A and B are shown apart, each in its own frame.
Chain A
Amino acid sequence: MNCELAHERIVTAAYQELPDEQAHELERHMSGCPDCQSEREQMRALKVLADAHPVLEPAANLVARSRLRLEEALDALPPMRWYERLSQRMINNFASLQAAPIAACLLLVAGAGAGCLGGYQYAQNRAAHRAAVLTARNVAQPTLNAQQSPAEPAEIANISSIVRQPNSQMVEVHYNQVVPQQIEGSLDDPAIRQLLMLASENSASAGVRDDSVGLLAAECRAGHSCQAAGIRDALMVALRYDKNAGVREKALQGLEPYVAEDVRVRDAVLEALMNDSDPRIRTAAINILEPVEGDTSVRQVLHTVANSDQSPQIRTVSREVLRREPEIQ
């Protein structure tokens, strides 16, 4: 340590501002430097001399006077207007953010993140809504675009074929789609009749088959145009194969006008007489066979039924018919 540095440290040490390690170093220097020892003595003397100009406590009058004057000045200040208070608050908040850059950055990141998330959610909701609208339109329109996804399983009629492309994970599925339709018209309308005949054969609902067969049978019994082969065929199919006894009964009633003139109808009735599981159907079949003439098959069936039918009542009725109608051969 040189004397110039020592002189500076003597001043610092005089006011208890010298760190311990520097104080130790200073002591070692001064132990061998009379000049610096003299310097320290002079510093101490200065401190004593300076204390000859003491610091006075302010008089009570001075304090009171100053306080009063300040209060008057503060009272005279105009109150801050609302926009001044608002601007001051905004400046304070901005200054607080300035003093907290990390908090400001985090706030910015959080705000940006919330904005992105909100935008993403909104876009997702819009896309879902558009997809729902598109699906509703697809149900109404019969054509299907190549890129559109298939409809719900309930709307698909059947799968016609499945083809897997070689050396690939791609699969081609051909399917038919059901498109709900509606038509309104008279029972004489051929289109209506066509649909009724289709319903009597293909409908999965017994109620629908019952309604369609009932309408067709009523038309035939009423003498409306029933000459078309399709209608009688539909009734005969219903009489032979429908699982519902009510549907078969209605079909039988519809065929009654044609038993005498149409051998196919007569054969269907005879089959029902021999094979139908429901005794009501067999009894009804006997009743509509009565006026038949010159048909040996009728007599043969009646004989068979009179001897072997499970129902005693039907056997009795068959015998009665044979006894009362000797014309039936």
Chain B
Amino acid sequence: MAATATDETNRGGAGRDLTRSAQERLQARAPEMELIREAQGGSRAAFDTLVRQYEHQVLRLALHLTGSEHDAEDIYQEAFLKAYRYIGNFRFECSFYTWIYRIVTNLCLDQLRRKKTRREDRAVMVDRSGDEIDLFASVSDDRSFSNPAKELDRKQLGEKIQTALEKLTPRERMVFELKHYQGLRLRTIGEMLSTTEETAKNTLFRATKKLRTQLAGLR
């Protein structure tokens, strides 16, 4: 599983090559801009189309951060209601994706702060009815036969990871979530959190350092 040092640094250059040209991006965004303008003009159908384009990403983020379907649903509801109310203020200075994610991350941060205050730490993910969600039910196993012992180990590991994540500050947790789990670029994360790329980078460094300390015994 260990990758060579050269591969890692080369992957950094290859990742940057994936960005499209500005013109291609503009052309790709043109239909979305039309949708946004229609939604700003009061078209409910246009707004519903925008919701469908981003609802999976919003739920995915909210679910992974909160660990609760109920909380994820609340964040979904609040995020899109806010978007509907304030879509008139959208100035096309950034992508709609960045704009909606900014709303979602702020709501998630509020949720994390509330949880930290109430000390509602949850080591497992639960669904709406309160039943535990088996995180590894959908994770494929390469082996031809199942290994219950290994699955239990992985489940406990997952819980420990979650516990370590909950020990981060809400901002550190958010940056790590957006970088590691959502795969966003540090510059985008900075825009979403209304900060700079450098600040996002420093926050990521602190988060990884804390996590390594928390998970040191698990290696």
Measuring CB to CB, which residues of chain A are less than 8 angstroms from any residue of chain B? 7-8, 11-20, 23-24, 26-27, 30, 40-50, 52-59, 62-63, 65-67, 69-71, 73-74, 77, 80, 85, 88, 91-92, 95-96, 99
Contacts and interface: CB of A to CB of B under 8 A. Distances in A.
Q: How large is the interface on B (under 10, 10 to 19, 20 to 34, 35 or more residues)?
A: 35 or more
Interface of B: 1-3, 5-6, 8-9, 11-16, 40, 42, 44, 47-48, 51-52, 55-56, 59-60, 63-64, 69, 72-73, 76-77, 80-81, 84, 88-89, 91, 93, 125, 128, 133, 135-136, 138-139, 154, 157-158, 161-162, 165, 176, 179-182, 185-186, 201-202, 204-205, 208, 211-212, 215, 218-219
A73 B91 contact: no
B202 to A, nearest CB: 8
B113 to A, nearest CB: 21
B44 A74 contact: yes
Contact of A63 (B3, B12, B56, B161): B56
Contact of A23 (B3, B9, B161, B215): B9
The main secondary structure of chain A at its interface with chain B is helix
A199 B21 CA distance: 98
Contacts of A62: 59, 63, 69, 72-73, 128
A74 B42 CA distance: 12
A27 B3 contact: no
Nearest to A43: B208
B89 to A, nearest CB: 7
B59 A69 contact: no
Contacts of B44: 74
B180 A52 contact: no
Contact of A56 (B135, B165, B215): B135
B131 to A, nearest CB: 12
Contacts of A65: 73, 128
A153 to B, nearest CB: 68
Contact of B59 (A40, A58, A73, A80): A58
B88 A50 contact: no
Contacts of B212: 42-43, 46
Given A15-B179, A18-B9, A27-B6, 10 more contacts: A40-B5, A49-B219, A50-B181, A53-B161, A56-B138, A57-B56, A66-B55, A67-B52, A73-B77, A73-B81
